[in-house]
Amino acid sequence: MKKCPQLTEEFLRELVMRGMSGAAIAREVGCTAETVNNRRREFGIGYTDFTFEELFWINVDKNGPTPGHCLELGKCWIWTKGKDSYGYGLVTTPHLNVRQAKASRVSWIIHFGDPGNKRVLHKCDNPSCINPNHLFLGTQLDNMRDCSNKNRMSSRTGSNNGRSTVDESFVRQVRCEYIPRSTTNGLNALVKKYDIPYGTLQKIITRETWSHVS
């Protein structure tokens, strides 16, 4: 067993913020759970003492790659926790009135405020990046044009169909937000929020269209 390091307040606070139990921390540093918990109580560190922003930023690596096509942007800030199949960071955000939101959107909200009906898009083309300087606002049409300009459309399925007005990430987001008969997250509310035809959104929710999106 490796030697137990000094359990400083800062070090212990970070591990607790990551949701690690006393036993897990003990295994990590090579000491007993009793020692860990005694130090935690000594510092007054509880598992519910952290703000949403503290819990958010603990999952971000600010030493990511610099986008080769735009070096002046600097390093990407990479979301290291849950991601969808396309690499977009996902955050559980009950306080935002949705079950999940993209980490990039949450980063924008933290830095600049609610973007409303606008989409949060990437200058760096790194879906895991949440660096606010790498993000910009646009409409769904802007997003599709950005994809087209950057040659990210190689097939005719889903968002790669030139006539499509939404993309896969939007479909996942709106299906995640949708709550049947809800006044804030029902079909009518989402139609108004995203300015999309009722029939189009209904077919997305019922999987009559975009059935290939899990």
Mean pLDDT of 2-31: 77
Above 90 in pLDDT, residue 78? yes
pLDDT value of position 134: 94
pLDDT value of position 161: 45
Same-domain status, 195 and 130: no
192 Cβ contact list (under 8 Å, min separation 6): none
Residue 181's pLDDT band (boundaries 50, 70, 90)?
Answer: confident
More confident residue, 75 or 21: 75
pLDDT value of position 201: 87
**How far apart are the C-alpha atoms of 138 and 117, rounded to whole Å?**
9
Same-domain status, 19 and 90: no
pLDDT value of position 96: 59
Same-domain status, 110 and 143: no
Mean pLDDT of 58-77: 88
Residue 39's pLDDT band (boundaries 50, 70, 90)?
Answer: confident
Provide the domain count of the chain: 3
Domain assignment present for 1: no
Q: Which of 109, 137, 165 is the last residue of a domain?
A: 137
Give the start-end residues of each E strand in 115-163.
Answer: 119-122, 135-138
- Cβ-contact 114, 101 below 8 angstroms: no
Same-domain status, 106 and 145: no
pLDDT value of position 133: 94
Same-domain status, 103 and 143: no
Same-domain status, 146 and 94: no
Q: Which of 107, 137, 167 is the last residue of a domain?
A: 137
Same-domain status, 159 and 107: no
Domain assignment present for 2: no
Same-domain status, 38 and 81: no
Please, what is the Cα angle at 184 between 214 and 48, to 5 degrees? 80
Above 60 in pLDDT, residue 124? yes
Provide the domain limits for residue 26. 9-50
- Cβ-contact 173, 90 below 8 angstroms: no
Same-domain status, 144 and 213: yes
69 Cβ contact list (under 8 Å, min separation 6): 125
Q: 168-177 and 187-194 helices cross at what angle (nearest 10)?
A: 140
pLDDT value of position 97: 59
Domain assignment present for 155: yes
Domain assignment present for 4: no
To the nearest whole number, what is the mean pLDDT of the chain?
Answer: 80
Question: Can you read off the two tokens belonging to residue 113?
Answer: 């405020």
pLDDT in tens, 127-180: 899 999 999 998 766 666 665 565 554 444 554 444 456 778 888 888 888 888
Q: Is the dihedral of CA 151, 157, 159, 161 positive or negative?
A: positive
Domain assignment present for 201: yes
Domain assignment present for 29: yes
Tell me how far apart the 2 most distant CA atoms of the chain are, in Å.
63
**How far apart are the C-alpha atoms of 61 and 30, rounded to whole Å?**
25
Domain assignment present for 43: yes
**How far apart are the C-alpha atoms of 108 and 106, rounded to whole Å?**
5
Quick one: DSSP state of residue 86?
Answer: T
More confident residue, 151 or 75: 75
**How far apart are the C-alpha atoms of 15 and 32, rounded to whole Å?**
15
Same-domain status, 29 and 81: no
Domain assignment present for 189: yes
